[in-house]
């Protein structure tokens, strides 16, 4: 199964060898075997072809997780079209910018599982489209010129638009080769087998869900159970029912543990769960120990980004290992540090090279040249260090580094200290210019309203952080602005809480 040149070929292979095994459990509970999955991909390809979609055309998929997303992405592969999955919870203005940039031939909306997708469909005057994989809506897109078809795995399969701090969309072009490599790396890192049952709540409109969840399951031939939205109750039930692999982000784990504790469960007690991973944010030792005690399993960590097709590195640690790194580079991946970017010895910007690196930013050669060095290394924008065992440690984003009184303050370290408090579910820390210096601002979500106050947290971290690292202001909030993956959108913190923050002493 290593000779695939297109991602849909993974589905076709399993349809031939294990046709009646369950491939996908849809968000509504409907089960689809591999033969049916392959047939639905063919049906979707015919639907798109009738609508004039061909090689090099873009197909915008406004969606939340469901079988239709998987089928449409694979159908685009069959036509050599480029799938452009975007989260339906985007605003109309955000979606319009992506539409105008990608110039899709057709736009499909998963209106049957998402009220937001249905609302966008109404705004676009989309017409109903009843299929065997869901009652969708379809609209005509701007229909820009088709892109050239490339031989082998170099053909672009998907464009993913990244969450940015400005209104300018940045479309990451991922090839079939990128996605097949990521699927292989993820399968091998987790030791996936066809008997596994992956719980798929990570959005497939994001690289973590698309590559490490959907593609890895498709390559392996195991079952993926899709969830349109994260729910602690639904995840808890899925784990009790027999899910074996759960890729997630720290915020999901934190909310799940809070849910279980609220219902009197300090441990999960799942008979089949065998692998739990965390990504998209750093771990701290105390939180890692708490999670491992809850699951009764090691909590594996990893690192990647959209431009690296999710995977750069990952851990294979036993339970109780105090290591909070993101592990050594994955096989075939190279990592080095550019210490000219950091301003302390041993710390630098993480650069990476290998088959996981994107083809580039769509219709933006200048940004591509800025991101990828002449010798093929991707500049991640993350600051890291490499320990004596060759494991990568992410210490923060280069743009988020706070310099206070001439000293470096890495937000993840401050967040780890705050998250240590038993009444804090999650926190986010940023810097803000103040009187010729920078102040450290912290935003914390409590386990329950009134469970903890700012003064208590200020005293709590005093014994854990040096004076210059301690937050100048701490704001207790109900929720943090976040992407569909659960990743905290730090660039929205000041806009969301700025007025309330200034009232805090």
> Sign (positive/negative) of CA torsion 242, 244, 245, 250?
positive
The answer on 242 and 149 residing in a single domain is no
Question: What is the C-alpha separation between 418 and 427, in angstroms, rounded?
Answer: 7
pTM for this one?
A: 0.85
Task: Please report how many Cα atoms fall inside a 13 Å half-sphere around the Cα of residue 420, on the Cβ side.
Answer: 20
264 and 407 fall within a common domain: no
Task: Please enumerate, as own/partner, the contacts of 230-237 that have beta carbons within 8 Å and a separation of 24 or more.
Answer: 230/201, 230/255, 230/486, 232/256, 232/258, 232/259, 232/260, 233/259, 234/201, 235/199, 235/201, 236/260, 236/268
Q: Is the domain of 146 the same as that of 21?
A: yes
Q: For the chain, how many structural domains are there in total? A: 3
Question: In this structure, are 129 and 146 located in the same domain?
Answer: yes
Nearest alpha-carbon partner for 39 in 54, 57, 58, 24: 24
Judgement on whether residues 389 and 468 belong to the same structural domain of the protein: no
pLDDT digit string (tens) for the chain, length 505 residues: 468 999 999 999 999 999 999 999 999 999 999 999 999 999 999 999 999 999 999 999 999 999 999 999 999 999 999 999 999 988 888 899 999 999 999 999 999 999 999 999 999 999 999 999 999 999 999 999 999 998 899 999 999 998 654 457 799 999 999 999 999 999 999 999 999 999 999 899 999 999 999 999 999 999 999 999 889 999 999 999 999 999 988 778 888 998 999 999 999 988 899 999 987 666 777 788 889 999 999 999 999 989 999 899 999 999 999 998 999 999 999 999 999 886 678 999 999 999 999 999 999 999 999 999 999 999 998 889 999 999 999 887 767 778 776 566 778 788 888 988 999 988 999 888 776 667 899 999 998 899 999 999 999 998 888 787 899 999 999 999 887 767 788 888 888 897 887 776 5
Domain range for 333 is 230-398
Same-domain pairing of 371 and 249: yes
């Amino acid at each position: 199964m290593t000779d695939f040149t297109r991602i849909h070929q993974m589905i076709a292979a399993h349809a031939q060898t294990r046709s009646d095994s369950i491939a996908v459990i849809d968000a509504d509970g409907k089960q689809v075997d591999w033969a049916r999955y392959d047939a639905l991909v063919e049906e979707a390809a015919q639907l798109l072809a009738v609508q004039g979609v061909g090689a090099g055309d873009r197909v915008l998929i406004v969606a939340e997780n469901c079988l239709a997303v998987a089928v449409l992405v694979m159908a685009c592969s069959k036509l050599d079209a480029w799938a452009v999955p975007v989260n339906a919870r985007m605003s109309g203005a955000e979606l319009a910018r992506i539409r105008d940039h990608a110039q899709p031939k057709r736009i499909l909306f998963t209106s049957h599982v998402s009220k937001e997708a249905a609302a966008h469909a109404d705004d676009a005057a989309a017409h109903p489209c009843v299929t065997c994989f869901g009652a969708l809506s379809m609209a005509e897109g701007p229909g820009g010129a088709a892109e050239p078809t490339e031989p082998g795995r170099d053909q672009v399969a998907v464009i993913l638009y990244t969450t940015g701090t400005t209104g300018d969309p940045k479309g990451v072009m991922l090839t079939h080769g990128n996605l097949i490599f990521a699927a292989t790396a993820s399968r091998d890192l987790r030791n996936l087998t066809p008997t596994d049952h992956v719980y798929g709540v990570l959005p497939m409109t994001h690289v973590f869900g698309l590559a490490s969840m959907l593609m890895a399951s498709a390559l392996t031939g195991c079952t993926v159970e899709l969830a349109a939205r994260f729910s602690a109750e639904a995840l808890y039930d899925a784990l009790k029912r027999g899910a074996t692999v759960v890729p997630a982000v720290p915020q999901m784990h934190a909310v799940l543990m809070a849910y279980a504790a609220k219902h009197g469960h300090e441990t999960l007690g799942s008979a089949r769960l065998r692998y739990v991973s965390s990504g998209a944010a750093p771990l701290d030792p105390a939180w890692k120990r708490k999670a491992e005690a809850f699951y009764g399993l090691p909590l594996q960590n990893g690192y990647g980004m959209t431009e690296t097709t999710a995977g750069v590195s990952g851990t294979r640690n036993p339970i109780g290992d105090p290591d909070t790194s993101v592990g050594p580079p994955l096989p075939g991946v190279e990592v080095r540090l550019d210490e000219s970017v950091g301003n302390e010895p041993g710390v630098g910007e993480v650069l990476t090279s290998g088959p996981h690196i994107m083809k580039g930013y769509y219709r933006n050669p200048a940004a591509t040249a800025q991101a990828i060095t002449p010798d093929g290394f991707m500049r991640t924008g993350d600051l890291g260090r490499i320990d004596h065992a060759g494991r990568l440690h992410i210490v923060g984003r280069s743009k988020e580094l706070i310099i206070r009184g001439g000293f470096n303050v890495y937000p993840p370290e401050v967040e780890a200290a705050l998250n240590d408090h038993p009444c804090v579910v999650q926190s986010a820390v940023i810097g803000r210019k103040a009187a010729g210096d920078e102040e450290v601002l912290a935003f914390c979500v409590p386990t329950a309203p009134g469970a903890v106050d700012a003064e208590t947290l200020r005293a709590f971290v005093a014994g854990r952080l040096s004076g210059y690292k301690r937050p100048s202001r701490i704001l207790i909030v109900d929720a943090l602005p976040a992407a569909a993956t659960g990743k905290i959108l730090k660039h929205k913190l000041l806009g969301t809480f700025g007025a309330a923050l200034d009232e805090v002493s």
